[in-house]
Amino acid sequence: MRPFLLSRDTFHILVALADRDRHGYSIMQEVSERTGGEIRLSPSTLYSAVKRLLEQGFIEELEERPDPEHDDERRRYYRLTKAGKRAAMEEARHLEKLLSDARASGLVRKRA
């Protein structure tokens, strides 16, 4: 079986950036909300992942401010790149396949 392409935290960060560009704290909030508070990224975990994602080209830092109303000039905003989107989708497909395999084998009950 193919190993996971992205770590859990990384995947969540990409997902958080899927609908709009965000700054760091916003990503933390989004991940927390989306998972019902189950996953709370610490600032250090977030920025280590951000650094890696930037290096891999999965996200990019924005130069313009997308949200002028709540703008804070010192905050950095990040956007999902095409490569990042592709990676996240591939990961999602992979997870989907895993799940369907698990259902087919009866390990996980099929949805009604």
* Footprint on this chain of other proteins (rule: CB under 8 A): 24-25, 28, 40, 42-48, 50-52, 72-76
Between 74 and 110, CB nearer to other proteins: 74
Residue 61 and residue 76 in contact, taking contact as beta carbons nearer than 8 Å: yes
CA distance 90 to 81: 14
Choose between 36 and 106: whose C-beta lies nearer to other proteins.
Answer: 36
Shortest distance (Å) from residue 107 CB to other proteins: 32
**Residue from 18, 94, 27 nearest 58 by CA:** 18
Shortest Å distance, C-beta 69 to other proteins: 14
Contacts of 45 (CB under 8 A, 6+ apart): 9
Nearer Cβ to other proteins (4/25): 25
